[in-house]
């Protein structure tokens, strides 16, 4: 099916613009507990030995603090800290890798922080270790995040030589005043040079991250950013809604609330973004993401084969995700597991126990059913009852009778169509897919936790 069509209905968007999960997982991380232990992880690792493996490596360091950032990072200019980190990360990798012997890595992503905080020698060291410990598919997707302020062009060449074939770059906004107010001033010409070098080297995919809702942004100023992005021509775009949560993220206290665009202006920016990017030929994938029509994400969505995990949208659904490094999250078997979030605790536990496991959750049968429903709706905007019924031997109408009742106001508002055998998200409902999925979230319903999440728009 196509995800390109969106009907902008301001009244409905304002009605449903309340807080809710992003559903990179179901259950969400709020359900993780420290009762999930190493024995549970070992059982999960052995549950589906036939599954390919996706690796996530977290590099927590940044040279400079971006005021909008809510990621787990450590700001420092002491490069030797990366060597100390790699020493401990190596211990974790050597302990975890044997659990997945015989599996093939089909996907790897380095996130942060800033992975290119590592210099060329450190990148080579880590890649050599990973290739020694894991078996990589010859066509594996190998991606990492780069900061255009903290990289030289020759590092892009080095990344390509090490096997990376995908780059994701945080641009956020090309407007100089906005950049200054969030402490992320960058060279526009150099960003173009980086993307051009990646394309010339044959990188299979380039992604640009933008953020709307930053201080002093206006529809007019963001129009320039969108124009330049269209000229840049990345394969994919992520356009995130800035959630101002200064009580949770200390760096955001440096942003003056008076400088932030109001709710109505943010919606104007979002509407303009969708219009301009689709006019430039991008397909709306959903949940803030766009892709060229020939990109594999867009193709997978049209074919009903798109998937989603902690790293976002992916074409690789039947894989186990192994996260390594401080705060990294794994999706192994039917469970989620997260490493220690504080760097000091990560170091201590790996050095004393050989692993960094902090917390997690073992999914129940009901969790698995609801996870598949939510994931399918988010990825493909359509859900066949029969697919869920066949997989889990249930009667959809009976099992989800309460959930379908909760959907009735959204059906009346035209966000979703309910037939006898299918749920279909309408063009009006695609921007509000999180709200639709919340009707199937038993944890949200029982605990009323919406205040702990960002607004859906």
Is 68 annotated to bind a ligand? Reply is yes
**Cα–chain center distance at 51:** 21
Residue 262 has what DSSP assignment?
P
Q: How many helices (H) and strands (E) does the chain have?
A: 17, 19
Is 392 annotated to bind a ligand? Reply is no
How many other C-beta atoms lie within 10 A of the C-beta of residue 10? 11
Alpha helices in 184-280 (DSSP H): 188-201, 219-232, 263-279
Is 333 annotated to bind a ligand? Reply is no
Is 272 annotated to bind a ligand? Reply is no
How many other C-beta atoms lie within 10 A of the C-beta of residue 362? 17
Is 113 annotated to bind a ligand? Reply is yes
Is 102 annotated to bind a ligand? Reply is no
CA distance 139 to 356: 30
Is 192 annotated to bind a ligand? Reply is no
431 to 5, 42, 49, 271: CA distances (angstroms):
10, 39, 37, 10
Which DSSP string corresponds to 377-446? HHHHSEEEHHHHHHHHT--HHHHTHHHHHHHHHHHHTTSEEE-SSEEEE-TTTGGGHHHHHHTT-HHHHH
Is 66 annotated to bind a ligand? Reply is yes
Is 90 annotated to bind a ligand? Reply is no
3-state secondary structure of 351: helix
Is 433 annotated to bind a ligand? Reply is no
Is 209 annotated to bind a ligand? Reply is yes
Is 368 annotated to bind a ligand? Reply is no
Annotate 414-423 with b (16+ C-beta within 10 A) or e (fewer). ebbeeeeeeb
Is 329 annotated to bind a ligand? Reply is yes
Binding site, by residue number, is 56, 62, 66, 68-70, 112-114, 145, 172, 184, 209, 243, 329
Binding site for [4Fe-4S] cluster, by residue number, is 62, 66, 69
Binding site for S-adenosyl-L-methionine, by residue number, is 56, 68-70, 112-114, 145, 172, 184, 209, 243, 329
């Amino acid at each position: 099916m196509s995800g390109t069509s969106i009907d902008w209905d301001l009244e409905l968007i304002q009605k449903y613009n309340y807080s809710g999960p992003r559903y990179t997982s179901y259950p969400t991380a709020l359900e993780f507990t420290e009762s999930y232990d190493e024995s549970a992880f070992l059982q999960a690792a052995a549950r589906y030995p036939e599954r390919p493996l996706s690796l996530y490596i977290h590099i927590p360091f940044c040279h400079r603090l971006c005021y909008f950032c809510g990621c787990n990072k450590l700001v420092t200019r002491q490069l030797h800290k990366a060597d100390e980190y790699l020493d401990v990360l190596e211990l974790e990798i050597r302990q975890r890798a044997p659990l997945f012997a015989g599996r093939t890595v089909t996907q790897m992503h380095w996130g942060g922080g800033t992975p290119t905080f590592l210099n060329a020698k450190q990148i080579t060291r880590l890649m050599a270790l990973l290739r020694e410990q894991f078996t990589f598919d010859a066509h594996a997707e190998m991606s990492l995040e780069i900061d255009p302020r903290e990289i030289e062009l020759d590092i892009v060449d080095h990344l390509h030589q090490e096997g990376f074939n995908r780059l994701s770059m945080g641009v956020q906004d090309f407007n100089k005043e906005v950049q200054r107010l969030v402490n992320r001033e960058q060279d526009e010409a150099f960003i173009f040079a980086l993307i051009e070098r990646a394309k010339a080297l044959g990188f299979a995919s380039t992604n640009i991250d933008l953020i709307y809702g930053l201080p002093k942004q206006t529809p007019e100023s963001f129009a320039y950013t969108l124009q330049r992005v269209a000229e840049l021509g990345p394969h994919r775009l992520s356009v995130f809604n800035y959630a101002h949560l200064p009580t949770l993220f200390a760096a955001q206290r440096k942003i003056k609330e008076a400088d932030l665009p109001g709710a109505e202006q943010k919606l104007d920016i979002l509407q303009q973004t969708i219009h301009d990017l689709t006019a430039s030929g991008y397909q709306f994938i959903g949940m803030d993401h766009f892709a060229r029509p020939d990109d594999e994400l867009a193709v997978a969505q049209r074919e009903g084969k798109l998937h989603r995990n902690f790293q976002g949208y992916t074409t690789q659904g039947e894989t186990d995700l192994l996260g390594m490094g401080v705060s990294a999250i794994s999706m192994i078997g039917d469970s989620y597991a997260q490493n220690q979030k504080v760097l000091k605790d990560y170091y201590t536990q790996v050095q004393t126990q050989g692993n960094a496991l902090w917390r997690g959750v073992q999914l129940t049968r009901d969790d698995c059913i609801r996870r598949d429903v939510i994931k399918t709706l988010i990825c493909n905007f359509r859900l066949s009852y029969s697919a869920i019924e066949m997989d889990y031997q249930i009667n959809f109408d009976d099992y989800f009778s309460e959930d379908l009742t909760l959907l009735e106001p959204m059906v009346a508002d035209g966000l979703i169509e309910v037939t006898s055998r299918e749920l279909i998200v309408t063009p009006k409902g695609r921007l509000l897919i999180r709200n639709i999925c919340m009707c199937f979230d038993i944890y949200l319903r029982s605990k009323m936790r919406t205040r702990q999440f960002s607004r859906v728009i």
